Structure 1
Amino acid sequence: MDPLTGKKPSAAGVLAVKVENIAAARPQVGLGSADIVFVEEVEGSLTRLVAVYHSRFPSRLGPVRSARSTDVVLLPLFGTPGLVYSGANRKVQRSIDRASIRALPRSDRDGSRVAPHNVFVDLDAIAAEAELRPARTIGWTFAAADPRWAAAPKDGDVSGRVGGDRFTFAPAGGRYVVRWNGQPYADGDSGTKATTDNVVMMSVKNAPDGNADVNGARSVRSDTTGRGTVVIYRDGRRLTGTWQRSAPSKPLRFLDGDGRDLPLAPGRTWVLLRG
């Protein structure tokens, strides 16, 4: 069983990509191929996506933007993943250089898009060149069926806010179609809508990280170590539990009230970091 998807194991490593998530960046390309997507709050109540690829690497992906301090604590969950990003301020870059992350900065431009929303990468080529380590367990468990899920309350359309953005997940064909502020993530090349099998909403602590953008808006760091409430949605049902992670290098577990792991549905997962 693959540690990131619960499906057929892949021998490939892990690449995380910082994907821009504002109106000017739409439509994104390659997002629907991600095995895991984390939604983080950044500055000015905006959000940015950390798309994690392991089973498939799209040949075109973007727009890629800069890294944030949240990534430095979050990404060592995967061992030593590659991080594809376009720039970082000096403080964040120093933290990345010291972390268990392989920095893979890129600045390849798509002339048909307006800067700075035009950095696109060939992730398949990067994966072939990067000499990534195999994926390791991240603490997640998967099961196609489980008695706790069979008895869980039904819940249709799922909705959650991160920063100033609302994300909704509408059931469709056994999965959820992902929407941002009411608009589906339709791939800019293929038109295919991004879907997920699991929606995970983690309550985290947000705090200013000492950085700010050019307009003076303070950047936010979401802490994904410690513990907090988690709400998981799959198969049109909902369960509430606790997330737990003792350090950046340690697994992230989702537990029920008895301390047992809550299994995700095999497939893709979107995680909302809600501060």
Structure 2
Amino acid sequence: MKVTRRSLLLSSVVLGVAGCSRPAETPTPSPTQAPTTPSVAPTPSPSPSPTPALRAPLTGLPATDPAALTRPAVAVKVPNLKVEQPQLGLNEADIVICAPNGDSSTRLCPIFHSRFAEAVGPVRSMRPADVPLLSPIFPVLGNTGASSWVNNYIEAHSERLEVMTYLDFKKTGAYSVDKARLYTAGGRTQYDRAIQAHPAKMAEIAEKAGAPGPYLTFALDAASSSAAGGAAATRVVIPYGPAHKYDMSYDYDEASGRYLRSQPWGEHVLADGTRVDVDSVLIVKAKWEYGKIWKGKGDPDPVIELIDAEGQFLYVHGGTSVAGTWRKGAIAEPFVFTTDAGAPLLVAPGRTWIELPRPTADVTLS
């Protein structure tokens, strides 16, 4: 084929143009931003409600040993004549009941639960009032017996009492004899001032007594007690005999916040030399008379009207007081205390002494 100069020139132009041209750029798409989900603050978990503190049923204080709440209470009958002093263990009791044992004598019943005294004594006989006073808390009852009719009465109402009498339990470790307090009278060795009870052992060998419920209604703290802001009560005098010849008294000690107890013959001092003291005093005025309310031999004993009964009370704590009325139903029912303002009595947490003078007793607060 003949190639002309013109053909060569045209070919050169075409190749030149092809060599100089660049492919068209494909536009790069702009990145698409992912949609943003608005953040939501996490809902805070609710704080768990604080677990209510376990409280001892006979003091209202926080329980330091929860296991102790399941053991039975132990009550012990303790004489209170001058010749039977000094006593042991009263300041370790949660509650102490002082009841008339005649016109010019009283008998004590300390009740132990939140802590046990190593020894309590002297130990003496039971009285019919023990049935309604103690049945609400189903305790063990330490004693040295009773007259025939009182024994029969207590046995007939023992479904809420576990009676541990000295002669029946003296070899179990529940009792011991302080030989230094034995004496001779009528040619015979007398044990009435020497027998001691051991509450921890009594609770250990108990077979039917149960963990007690509350004996009183307790406030959460002293400031919430019914006596807070009440009438002054830095000194309390409680007569058991006529004309103030046999008075129990309490003086408020501001330094300790407790009441110091005295008896007709002077300060109430225990065998270890310590003064009897207490956080609160509850004065329950109740009728009583000598009588026999069950079949059996023996002399009349003081019978306190507590079953299906009512009366007046005074409660003192922290140097102040409140008054009101009490009532009690059946044997195993607890006391119900209502202040003169119509509110339930709230007792300050701590140890309490309960005094049981006659309704006519000229109790003085100052």
Could you say whether these structures have the same fold, taking a TM-score greater than 0.5 normalized by the shorter chain as the test? yes
Task: Quote the Cα distance in structure 2 between the aligned partners of 1:112 and 1:44.
Answer: 31
Q: Which of 276, 288, 296 in structure 2 is aligned with 1:194?
A: 276
Shift of 1:149: 3.3
Shift of 1:44: 5.2
Structure with greater contact order relative to length (CA < 8 Å, sep ≥ 6): 1
Task: Quote the Cα distance in structure 2 between the aligned partners of 1:217 and 1:91.
Answer: 9
Is 1:25–1:63's contact at 8 Å kept on the other side of the alignment?
yes
Q: 1:238 to 1:258 in 2, by over 3 A?
A: closer
Task: Quote the Cα distance in structure 2 between the aligned partners of 1:45 and 1:150.
Answer: 33
Is 2:202 the partner of 1:134?
A: no
Aligned length: 269
Task: Quote the Cα distance in structure 1 between the aligned partners of 2:259 and 2:341.
Answer: 28
Unaligned runs of 5+ in 2: 1-54, 168-175, 184-189, 359-366
Task: Quote the Cα distance in structure 2 between the aligned partners of 1:61 and 1:149.
Answer: 31
Q: Which of 66, 70, 89 in structure 1 is aligned with 2:147?
A: 89
Task: Quote the Cα distance in structure 2 between the aligned partners of 1:44 and 1:111.
Answer: 31
Q: 1:267 to 1:210 in 2, by over 3 A?
A: same
Moved more, 223-232 or 40-49: 40-49
Is 2:224–2:348's contact at 8 Å kept on the other side of the alignment?
no
Match for residue 255 of structure 1?
338
Greater share of residues in strand: 1
Is 1:18–1:84's contact at 8 Å kept on the other side of the alignment?
yes
Match for residue 224 of structure 1?
306
Q: 1:149 to 1:23 in 2, by over 3 A?
A: closer
Task: Quote the Cα distance in structure 1 between the aligned partners of 2:331 and 2:337.
Answer: 16
Task: Quote the Cα distance in structure 2 between the aligned partners of 1:165 and 1:53.
Answer: 27
Q: Which of 41, 54, 57 in structure 2 is aligned with 1:3?
A: 57
2:72 maps to a residue whose letter is G
Secondary structure of the equivalent of 1:192? Answer: coil
Match for residue 77 of structure 2?
18
Match for residue 176 of structure 1?
259
Secondary structure of the equivalent of 1:120? Answer: strand
Q: 1:137 to 1:147 in 2, by over 3 A?
A: closer
Shift of 1:140: 2.3
Task: Quote the Cα distance in structure 2 between the aligned partners of 1:148 and 1:50.
Answer: 25
1:142 maps to a residue whose letter is A
Unaligned runs of 5+ in 1: none
Secondary structure of the equivalent of 1:69? Answer: coil
* Correspondence list, 1:234-273, <5 A: 234-273=317-356
Match for residue 118 of structure 2?
59
- Root-mean-square deviation (CA, aligned residues, Å) is 2.0
Shift of 1:143: 3.6
1:83 maps to a residue whose letter is L
Identity of aligned residues (%): 28
Is 2:75–2:110's contact at 8 Å kept on the other side of the alignment?
yes
Is 1:241–1:257's contact at 8 Å kept on the other side of the alignment?
yes
Shift of 1:139: 4.5
Is 2:217–2:347's contact at 8 Å kept on the other side of the alignment?
yes
Q: 1:147 to 1:170 in 2, by over 3 A?
A: closer
Match for residue 165 of structure 1?
246
* Correspondence list, 1:111-150, <5 A: 111-113=179-181, 114=183, 115=190, 116-131=192-207, 132-144=209-221, 145-146=223-224, 148-150=226-228
Secondary structure of the equivalent of 1:77? Answer: helix
Task: Quote the Cα distance in structure 2 between the aligned partners of 1:31 and 1:129.
Answer: 22
CA offsets 1:119-166 (integer angstroms, 9 cap, x no match): 112222222222441111334233422385333122211110224631
Moved more, 93-102 or 81-90: 93-102
Secondary structure of the equivalent of 1:112? Answer: helix
Shift of 1:192: 1.8
TM-score (norm 1): 0.91
Secondary structure of the equivalent of 1:94? Answer: helix
Moved more, 161-170 or 174-183: 161-170
Match for residue 206 of structure 1?
288
Q: 1:148 to 1:102 in 2, by over 3 A?
A: closer
Larger Rg: 2
Q: 1:147 to 1:218 in 2, by over 3 A?
A: closer
